[in-house]
Structure 1
């Protein structure tokens, strides 16, 4: 089993030689941290000065990590990867907006994705970020139990209404919805709101999933607490497990404001925490459904092992593996080829609007030890394999 994710022929079957070469060049550049920093500054400056860089962005980093500029644009990717048994989570990746019109736009996008999902077996989930429906400051203020002004109370009522609309629609259309996790200082409020949605809409099966970032040392306590609530109140729990995406920001803020960082002290602790959460979820599948979002091969093997030990069939609907589009194809396509449920997060949005997401993607790849190197290693291996087979 340990060599499963080394099968590059399966992993890159959908990539032409040109696609493979483009990915090679991109990951080669991303493997050089100073270049990522310079590139990030250049892109931000170029967009600020309205320089014509949109086409360059689209042909490189955008095409690697995004499915298109809108939902319809993504359908080509959705259909192609589904031929290999890999499903899609369409993710509207426009970030950092903080006005009501944008929140309403994000709501409409999410509802449209639910409609898409209802009609297509290849799209089993919808997804949204809590801050796409309301200001992060508002979540934070609620979490601190500060008094809201009358205007803020109206704002918060609108946030709740957006959550309700999405979860109610998802329930009616029988489409599961993944709710992403964000910064710790707003997450408590988001957790409470998602809990309310689970109580309402997860009575018969899991429709609503909360995302749990296991680089936080307190998240096992959260899992146990929500499990206890579900048992006593009679609802199911949907959990999307990830390691986390805001580590630098979390640590910096904790240092600036002089409180203990919510992040585990080491990568090893995070890995152990993640695998412990996998174990806990699988041990409680009578209540939990699991979406394991991971690019970590060891954790993927561990989940496979847990399923085998519990005699759980590979396509059990309560267990999904998930990776980001443009990354870890060696995991996604090899798992799908063996009958496991796999979904790729496929981000979309106007090129300029998704630049913050793309920059974060590039920075995360350089921050995670070995991630870019592993992608490169597998691409090089496949290029060599193709060269040999053509000789």
Structure 2
């Protein structure tokens, strides 16, 4: 497979020298784990003390990883990257809410994103998190089949209604909706609900997509299980594959509560799991839509090889590559330049409200061995290329 991810000129064509320098400084800082710990602690404290740090956050980490404070604010990013062949998944990145008004607000945001997607070729998907529609501890109770009181029954009915409303409107508007994965102790409840939505709305076309975190040891079996059900019942499956975002939290909770961690014992095992899922889905593409969410170049090349072997065209509408906005531009823009379907996850929301997301993003960058170093390496290479070209 021809190596395409080293072309920094294509990757950073949209970045000015100033933008490139800002990214360089940010990733340089994120490459130093103690600094990330101090910096994220400072941001949390400053916001609690109502210090005027929003502008600083906006001009640094926010602008690197977020498209704007609302949907309209993101349109400049949406249009700019689409001109280079990269689509957008608008992601309302407000996390950790636990009241009904916030859940209703998230529902309205998701419906608005579906409307945006219907009107714009550049936005092929909508997305939401299960916990944006209801309390995590209620999902957990449902998962464990614990008794719930009348008020909680009403709450759960509201969660189901929100899921159904989004999927129904998405079906009407012909927009595919991806539902993110979360912590394992609530995920089965979410999985069951998403499966019901697939049974209901994926009969003629793929509208509903679940997300599988392949650092979980059980996900390949789950993938095969739902595939068998889909074949016997006659509906399609949408799958977004990711490696996973809650490893430290999962391992800590397992240790505290004395049960085996659901997470693969090594990164190699996770990589093997992820690539096995790529092969399984491309072997059964008549049933699936695949959104391969990955910053791992080896897995991206593997998927490209599978497509080549199986004579699947680069722009087959049932296969998408996805990366987060502000990261892995060497993958996204080079894939697009070679005719593959690519989408960036573009988070948005009020600066203060998306800080938990931004902190998680910074922490994940330091936790993934080599990720920040690779970003830095490519930025440095592009800066050097530009200097040479201006001599």
TM-score range, shorter chain: over 0.9
Look up the SS of the partner of 1:6 in the other structure: coil
Structure 2 Cα separation of the partners of residues 8 and 68 of structure 1: 25
Structure 1 Cα separation of the partners of residues 27 and 232 of structure 2: 48
Using the size of structure 2 for normalisation, the TM-score is 1.00
Structure 2 Cα separation of the partners of residues 199 and 147 of structure 1: 27
Structure 2 Cα separation of the partners of residues 257 and 81 of structure 1: 45
> What residue is the counterpart of 2:130 in the other structure?
130
Structure 1 Cα separation of the partners of residues 175 and 233 of structure 2: 23
Once the 2 structures are TM-superposed, how far is the Cα of residue 2 of structure 1 from its aligned partner? 4.8
Look up the SS of the partner of 1:352 in the other structure: coil
Instruction: Please give the per-residue CA displacement for 1:39-85, whole angstroms capped at 9, x wherever unaligned.
Output: 01100000000000000000000000000000000000000000000
Structure 2 counterparts to residues 103-252 of structure 1, below 5 A: 103-252=103-252
Structure 1 Cα separation of the partners of residues 81 and 11 of structure 2: 11
Instruction: Please give the per-residue CA displacement for 1:189-247, whole angstroms capped at 9, x wherever unaligned.
Output: 00000000000000011100000000001000000000000000000000000000000
- 2:363 is equivalent to residue 363 of structure 1: yes
* Unmatched 5+ stretches in structure 2: none
Look up the SS of the partner of 2:74 in the other structure: helix
> What residue is the counterpart of 1:99 in the other structure?
99
- 2:380 is equivalent to residue 375 of structure 1: no
Structure 2 Cα separation of the partners of residues 310 and 266 of structure 1: 30
* Unmatched 5+ stretches in structure 1: none
Structure 2 Cα separation of the partners of residues 3 and 370 of structure 1: 19
Structure 2 Cα separation of the partners of residues 55 and 121 of structure 1: 32
> What residue is the counterpart of 1:38 in the other structure?
38
Instruction: Please give the per-residue CA displacement for 1:132-176, whole angstroms capped at 9, x wherever unaligned.
Output: 000000000000011110000000000000000000000000000
> What residue is the counterpart of 1:326 in the other structure?
326
Once the 2 structures are TM-superposed, how far is the Cα of residue 3 of structure 1 from its aligned partner? 2.8
Using the size of structure 1 for normalisation, the TM-score is 1.00
Structure 1 Cα separation of the partners of residues 2 and 54 of structure 2: 41
> What residue is the counterpart of 1:7 in the other structure?
7
Structure 1 Cα separation of the partners of residues 180 and 158 of structure 2: 19
Aligned CA RMSD, in angstroms, stands at 0.5
Structure 2 Cα separation of the partners of residues 282 and 2 of structure 1: 20
